[in-house]
Structure 1
């Protein structure tokens, strides 16, 4: 009877570890995209500017058109003309801007407009009405000349590697098999 008690305890331990794994795999992740603005027209032609944005992906379903704004944890840092701008600098911040837009789980782009210290906008020109995108416009405050550019995005690699639940499951089964084999003398 003692062997059956050990088997029951081992089985309960494995079951609890799987329940814990399932709970942890449902947690949200902070996703970060780096972006580069390449200016192609106007007084800033042939210059580049860098930035990044981060957000909590817990509200995204990868279905249809979705957006993430400040309320969902969006933060932005963009260096333009020696000044670092954040999400709080968007002139429509009181109306739900800026935001990052997705279509079927794929990044469409950022919708972000600043009109203090400098005037610039990152937006989309999608005919389907999507606001986020890969277009950049600015106004030179000395000449009032309008310039344009493009925006490219790259997903920043995650800094922590988490094993897939299927790998942990497989290792758990192997460990359980070893435990049964050694504890109950099931040797060949």
Structure 2
């Protein structure tokens, strides 16, 4: 993960909400150059740094937004439930069982997922598991190990869910 601070004029061109964007090779290299640990600017002239910032923003504004945004709840019961699942994405407990753990009924939690997060519990948990899988795959873990560690009962269902959200198979993602 890299953090890049931008002037307001450049930042205003980016989405106003948290977003997952596919980063081009050019944007990736510019981000790496701007966030290198050696120095703040890597010895570049301020004008060159400004141009690199502009390149990053140009690339990001053209990048497709991925449907991987994982909204965070405000309700304390939902926050407690999502904390359980963040700690163990492979958790197979039903919404009713998780509800009993956090002091809410399945019906209440289903309603809150729809109202606050604009998705069902199943959709949210699937996206959480795909987020977890992205990290494991980027670390070089196998598709099968990632599927099981992320909560899928078999690699086939994992591959289908992953490809539907990310747009490519987990194997391709890992190799890239």
Same fold (TM over 0.5): no
TM-score by length of 2: 0.22
Give 1 or 2 for the bigger CA radius of gyration: 1
TM-score by length of 1: 0.21
- Which is helix-richer, 1 or 2? 2
- Which is strand-richer, 1 or 2? 1
